[in-house]
Amino acid sequence: MISHGFRMMWNQKKKYGFILFELFAIFLVVFITVLYLTERITTYMEGTGCEIDNVYFMDIATQSPDHTPELEHFRKVRDRLAAMKSVESVSMTRGASPYRGSISTSTFEYGENRTTAHIHQADDAYPSVLKVEVILGRWFNPEDDHSSLEIPVVINRLMANRLFGDEDPVGNVIPGRRRNYVVKGVISKFKERDYDSRRPHIFMDIQHPNNDFHGSNMLIRYKNGYQPQPKEYAQNIYSVMPRDQYRIVQSSRLEGMKKRMNSNYSGDILFVSLIVGFLLFNLVLGLIGILGYNINQRWSEMGIRRAVGSTRARVRRLIFLEMFALTVMAIVPAFIVIVQIPAFEFMPLTWVLFAKAMVISLTLIFFLVFISVLYPGIMASKIRPAVALKEE
Amino acid sequence: MKHINLKQFWKQLSQNRFFTFLSLFGVSIPVMIIMVMIIKVELFINPGGPEQNNDQMLFLNRTKVKMEKGRAIGAVNLGIIENYFSEIAAPGSMAFSRSTSTAIFLENEVIDVPIRYTNADFWNVYDFKFLNGRNYTDENVGNKDNVIVISRNMRRRLFGNQKTVGETLEIEGEAYRIIGVVEDVTSLSRNAYSEIWLPYTIKSHSSADPVEIAKATGGYSVAFKASKAWGFEQIKADVERVRTRLNHLNGEHAEILFGGPAHATENYFRGFRDPETYEGNMVNYLALAGKALMILFLPALNLMSLNLTRIQERSQEIAIRKAFGGTRKRMALQILIENSVLTILGGLAGLLMAYGVMLLFKDQIFTNFFVRNTDQVKIHMNYLAFAVVLMVSLMFSVLSGLIPSLRISRLQPAYVLKGGEL
C-alpha cells in the first residue's frame, strides 16, 4: 500500500512539481526558524535564577571621578533602607543585578582547569533579596573570617563543574592574579539576561577588607502588598551620603529593566513567528486548493477503485498516503540540505536542540498536510461508484 | 473585445473566489511585510528631526583597541576627541556627545530620563528646532555652567507646558538652569536623541596622559559635518591620520581601530559590532534582499501550482476559443493580463496594509532597547522600493500564469475537448 502511494505520486510528479518544491522550501524555512525559536525559548525558559518581583534597583555613583566611594557610607545606607517598614531586605551589589548592561569577566584557573567567568560583587543579603538557590555549602556571611586574606566567593554550578569537575568545590581556594578566593558555596544557576546562554559566574564578598571597593548599587526587596517608595529610599540615601559627593543614577523596578532589556528579542521573535505563520497558512490554503481540484479530476478513478472493491476507508487511506508520500519526497532532500549547511556555526547548536527542532518542524509540517488533506480525502471517499462511472 | 475580456476576467474572479483570495493574500501580505521591513530600516538610517540632514554627516561611534592580551571595544575616548579630532575638524563641524540616563524625582514618581552630555557645536551640526530659549555656547561649556536644554515632552512632564526657560531643575543633587526647550526627538535618532542635553564638561574630564589616551576606548560618539571645504574623503583621510599618530604612540603594545567615520547607512549596519568584523554594506543589502525574495517567492510557488491546476480547469474554455479562431498569442496575453491585474490589486492592498500596520503598531514595530519614544516617528512610504517589490511579484505571477497557459495553448483543441490532459 505504501509503495503504491509513492508510485501514484511519482506518476503525477509533473502536476505536483511546484507544490513539491514549495514543501521543500517551506520545510527548510520552518526548520531554521523553529531551530532559532527553540534556542531562544529554551534559553529564556532556563531563567535567570533570580526572583525579581518586588525588587527595586537604585544605582548610586559618585559626583565626579575625584570622589572615592566609601564602604561605610554604603553600609549605613543599606541598614537604613533595611530598617524601613515596607522593606524586607536590602543587598549591596556591584555588577550582580540582573538586567544591567555592563559585564566584567576574568579568567580563573584551578590546577589544569581554566575558565572565563563573569565577576559580580555582592554582600551577605544577596540570596535573601534575589532568592538565588544555594545548592552546596552556604552564601558568605558575617561568620567568615575577615582577617584572612582569601576573599569568600560563591560560584554557580557550571563554574564548579568546569573548575573542579567531580571534586567538592566548597572550601577550595582559587588562586587569582593579586588575591586568592575561597569557595564558600555553589548556587544552582544565574544569568544576567533572559536571552543569554549559560556561563560561569563568580560572586565575591563586596565587604571583605581585601577586596577593592568601587561603589555599589542597592537591590531593595519590598514586602508583599507594599509599593516601592523610591522617594523615601532617596531620602534615606541622602541622609547618609552628602549630595555633593554622591548621586542616584538609576532608580527603577527590576521588572521594568527586564522588560526593556528583552524588548529587542521579543520583537524579533514575534516578527519571525508571524512570517512563518503566514507562510504555513499560505501552504495549507494552497494544498487544499490543489488537492480539492485534483480529487475532482480523479472522480472517475476513485469510482473505479470503489467499484472493484475498495472500501471507503481504503480510498481515504490512499489519499492520505499519497500526500504523505509527497511530503516525504519533499522533506528527504530538505533534510539532506539541512545537514549539509555549515552555517549553523553561528548558533550554539547542540544535538539535543537540533533533534528538538527537527521533531517540532516535522510534526508541524505533517500535521498541516494532514489538515489540508482532511476535507478532500473525505470527499473522495464519499464518491458513489455507480454515479462516478455513469458520469464518465 | 477588451470589454469582453474584462467581463470574462471579472466572472473568473467571482466564480473562483478561493483562487482570487489566495492570489490577493499571497501577494498583499508579502508586499506588506517587505514594505514594513524597508521603511523600518530607512527610518533607523534617517530618522528625520535633528538628523534630517545626516546624509551630509559622517559618524564615528566605535573604537577597538587590540592589546597583547585581550581587547576592548567601546565608544570614542574623550581625550582623543579633545586633543586630536578638534584639531582636524573644520570650525563648527564636529559634534560629540555621551548618552546615559538618570533618575529624576518628581512629586509623585521617579522617572528614568535619558540625558546627553554634548559639546556646543552639537547644536550647529544637528538641526534642533527650538521652541523657547537658546542652546548653550562654547563659553557655557568652557565654564562648566549648570545649564540644560530640555525636550517638549520633558517640559510637559515637569512643568505642564508652562513657560520654563529660566526655571531650575534638580538632577543628581545639583541645580541646573533651563535655558532652552526643543521639539521632541524620536529615539530612533540614536546620535541625537535625549530628553535633557547638558554641557559635557560638567561630569567628565579626559586623561592628560597621551600614551594612555592612545589605547583607550570611551563613551562618546562623534559626528562630522561635511562641507565644501571639508568633504567626506578629506574627513576620512584626516581621521585616518589621527589613527596613525595614535598607533605611533602605541608602538607594538597596542593597536587602535575606528568603526568609521561612516555614512549614516553604514553606521546603522555597523551598529554596536566589532569594527573589524564589519563586512560592508553590500552584504547587509543582500541579506535584506534575500529575506524579501524568500517572503515573495514561497507564496508565488503556491500560486504557480494553483495556476497550473486552474489552467487545466480552463483548458476546455481555451480549446473552444482556439477552435473559433483565437490565436495562441491572444490566449497567453489574456492570462497574462488577468494575473497582472490580480497582482497589482494585491500589491496595492499590501501597500495600504503596510501603512495601516505601521500606524497601528508603531510601538511594537519600532520599540527596542534603544528606542523608547516612537511618538515623533514619521511614517513615510518609499514608492520606488514599492515599485521594485511589485515588479518582482509581477514577474513571479506572470511566470506562474504564462508557463501553464503556453502549455495548454500548444495542445490540439480536439484533444483537449475530448478530455485530454497536459
User: Can you tell me which residue has the cell 499571497?
Assistant: B26
- Residue A343 predicted with pLDDT over 60: no
What is the ipTM metric for this complex? 0.71
Rounded mean pLDDT, A347-366: 81
Residue A375: pLDDT band by 50, 70, 90 thresholds?
confident
pLDDT(A35) > 70: yes
Alpha helices in B193-314 (DSSP H): 210-214, 232-250, 264-270, 281-313
As a whole number, mean pLDDT of residues B299-319 equals: 74
pLDDT band at B3 (very low <50, low <70, confident <90, very high): low
Q: In terms of Cα–Cα distance, which of A43, A22, A48, A47 is closest to A356?
A: A43
Decide if A250 and B305 are in contact by the 8 Å CB cutoff.
no
Find chain B residues with C-beta within 8 A of A22's C-beta. Answer: 298, 301-302, 305
Alpha-carbon span B292 to B37, nearest angstrom: 9
Report chain A's terminal Cα–Cα distance, integer Å: 27
Rank A112-116, A163-167, B122-126, B296-300 by mean pLDDT and report only the highest. B122-126
Please determine, for residue A346, whether its predicted confidence score (pLDDT) is greater than 60. Answer: no
Percent of chain A with pLDDT over 90: 2
Element (H, E) at B256: strand B254-258
Tell me which residue of A21, A1, A29 sits closest to A329, measured CA to CA. A21
CB contact under 8 A, B101 and A290: no
Q: What is the pLDDT of residue B70?
A: 67
Q: Are the C-beta atoms of B19 and B306 separated by less than 8 Å?
A: yes
pLDDT digits (tens, 9 = 90+) for A171-193: 888 887 778 888 888 998 888 88
Q: What is the pLDDT of residue B149?
A: 92
Cell numbers found for residue B213: 589616551
CA angle A22, A28, A30 (to 5 degrees): 95
Please state, as a whole number, how many other Cβ atoms lie within 10 Å of the Cβ of residue B275. Answer: 17
Q: Which residues 293-322 of A are in CB contact (within 8 Å) with B?
A: 293-294, 297
B96: pLDDT strictly greater than 70: yes
Residue with cell 526627538: B185
Helix axes B328-360, B315-323, angle to 10 degrees: 140
Task: Kindly report the nearest CA distance between residue B53 and chain A, in angstroms.
Answer: 27
CA distance B161 to B171: 20
CB B384, CB B287: distance < 8 Å:
no
Whether the per-residue pLDDT at A348 is higher than 60: the answer is no
| Mean pLDDT score across all residues of chain A | 82
Contact residues, chain B, for A243 at CB < 8 Å: 173-174
How does residue B255 score in pLDDT terms, banded at 50, 70 and 90?
Answer: confident
Q: For residues A98 and A129, is the Cβ–Cβ distance under 8 A?
A: no
Residues 153-212, chain A: which have Cβ within 8 Å of B?
none
Cβ atoms of residues A108 and A202 within 8 Å: yes
Provide mean pLDDT across the span A243-272: 80
Contact call for A264 and B110, based on CB within 8 A = no
Q: What is the mean pLDDT of chain B?
A: 81
Task: Write the pLDDT tens digit of every residue in B257-293.
Answer: 888 788 888 888 887 777 777 777 888 888 888 888 8
Pairing verdict, β B63-67 and B71-74: antiparallel
The answer on pLDDT for B102 being more than 70 is yes
Q: Measure in Å the smallest separation between the Cα of B1 and chain A Cα atoms.
A: 30
pLDDT at B1 over 60: no
pTM (2 d.p.) = 0.78
Q: Average pLDDT in the B332-339 region? A: 77
Give the model's pLDDT for residue A19. Answer: 75
**At B197, is the pLDDT very low, low, confident or very high (cuts 50, 70, 90)?**
very high
Nearest Cα neighbor of B127 from B177, B187, B191, B75 is B191
Is residue B181 within 8 Å of B149, Cβ to Cβ? yes
Any bridge partners for residue A153, and if so which?
A183, A204
- Tell me what pLDDT residue B387 has: 86
Best probe of the B interface among A24, A114, A243, A278, by most B CBs < 10 A, is A278
- Give CA–CA dist B7/B9, Å, rounded: 5
**CB distance B172–A249 less than 8 Å?**
yes
pLDDT at B369: 59
Confidence class for position A91, pLDDT limits 50, 70, 90? very high
Is the CB of residue A105 less than 8 Å away from at least one CB of chain B? no
Lowest mean pLDDT among B205-209, B250-254, B322-326: B205-209
- C-alpha cell recorded at residue B170: 534638580
CB within 8 Å of B311: residues ≥ 6 apart: B318, B335, B401, B404, B405, B407, B408
Q: How confident is the model at residue A9 (pLDDT cuts 50, 70, 90)?
A: low
Question: In this structure, how many other beta carbons lie within 10 angstroms of the beta carbon of residue A145?
Answer: 10
Name the band, by pLDDT with cuts 50, 70 and 90, for residue A1: low
User: With 80 as the cut, is the pLDDT of residue A125 above it?
Assistant: yes
Strands B147-151 and B174-182: what pairing? parallel
User: What is residue A13's predicted lDDT score, i.e. its pLDDT?
Assistant: 64
B residues 293-332 closer than 8 Å to A (CB): 294-295, 297-299, 301-306, 308-310, 312-313
pLDDT band for position B99 (50/70/90)? confident
CB neighbour list of residue A84: distance below 8 Å, 6 or more residues apart: A229, A232, A233, A236
Model confidence pLDDT, tens digit, residues A300-328: 777 777 777 777 777 778 778 888 888 88
Which chain B residues touch A29 with a CB distance below 8 Å?
294, 298
Rounded Cα distance, B66 and B61, in Å: 17
Task: Measure CB to CB from residue B18 to each of A15, A64, A289 and give the nearest one.
Answer: A289
Digit-coded pLDDT (tens) for B39-53: 888 888 888 888 888
Query: Residue A158: CB partners within 8 Å, gap ≥ 6?
Result: A189, A198, A199, A200, A201
3-state secondary structure of A293: helix
Closest partner CB to A249 (pick from B102, B310, B369): B102
HEC-encoded secondary structure of B60-97: ECCEEEEECCCEEEEEECHHHHHHHHHHHCCCCCEEEE
Q: Is A244 on the interface with B (CB under 8 A)?
A: yes
- Nearest Cα of chain A lies from the Cα of B101 at a distance, in angstroms, of 7
Kindly determine whether residue A293 and residue B19, on different chains, have CB atoms separated by under 8 Å: no
Q: Say how far apart CA B84 and CA A154 lie, in whole Å.
A: 45
Distance CA A190, CA A50 (A): 7
Position A345 pLDDT exceeds 60: no
SS (H, E, C) A201-261: EEEEECCCCCCCCCCCEEEEEECCCCCCCHHHHHHHHHHHCCCCCEEEEEEEEHHHHHHHH
Question: What confidence tier does B421 reach under pLDDT thresholds 50, 70, 90?
Answer: low
Q: Which of B343, B298, B271, B313 is nearest to B405 (CA)?
A: B313
* Chain-chain contact of A19 with B173 (C-beta, under 8 angstroms): no
Instruction: Give how far B295 is from chain A: nearest CA, Å.
Output: 8
Looking at residues B382-404, what average pLDDT do you find?
81
Domain positions in chain B are: 2-47+283-417, 63-258
Residue B114, CA distances (Å) to A338, A351, B46, B117 in order: 45, 43, 21, 10
CA-wise closest residue to A362 among A35, A15, A43: A35
Indicate yes or no: CB of A22 within 8 angstroms of CB of B367.
no
Whether the Cβ atoms of residue A195 and residue A40 lie closer than 8 Å to each other: yes
Q: Residue B417 pLDDT > 60, yes or no?
A: yes
Q: How far is A36 from chain B (nearest CA, A)?
A: 15
Looking at this protein, which amino acid is placed at residue A242? P
Cell of B106: 518628581
- List strand residue ranges (DSSP E) for B92-186, in order: 94-105, 110-118, 130-133, 147-151, 168-171, 174-182
The 3-state DSSP class for residue A186 equals: strand
Mutation target for B interface from A194, A262, A285, A375: give the one with most B CBs within 10 A.
A285
Residues 55-84 in A contacting B (C-alpha not used; CB under 8 Å):
58, 63-65
**pLDDT mean over B325-354:** 82
**Long-range contacts (CB closer than 8 Å, 24 or more residues apart) made by A137-143:** A137/A169, A137/A170, A137/A171, A137/A183, A137/A184, A137/A185, A137/A186, A138/A184, A138/A185, A139/A184, A139/A185, A140/A184, A140/A185, A140/A205
Give the residue-averaged pLDDT of B306-325. 74
Section A365-372 average pLDDT:
86
Considering CB atoms only, which of B26, B110, B310 is closest to A230? Answer: B110
User: Which pLDDT score is estimated for A388?
Assistant: 67
Task: Write out residues 93-112 of B within 8 Å (CB-CB) of A.
Answer: 100-103, 105, 109-110, 112
The yes-or-no verdict on residue B37 having pLDDT over 80 is: yes
What pLDDT, on a 0 to 100 scale, did the predictor assign at position A221? Answer: 92
Please tell me the distance from the alpha carbon of residue A46 to that of residue A157, in angstroms, as a whole number: 14
By the 10 Å C-beta count (0-12 exposed, 13-18 middle, 19+ buried), B35 is classed as: buried
Q: The C-alpha cell of A250 is what?
A: 538609576
Residue in B292, B298, B258, B250 with CA at minimum distance from that of residue B278: B258
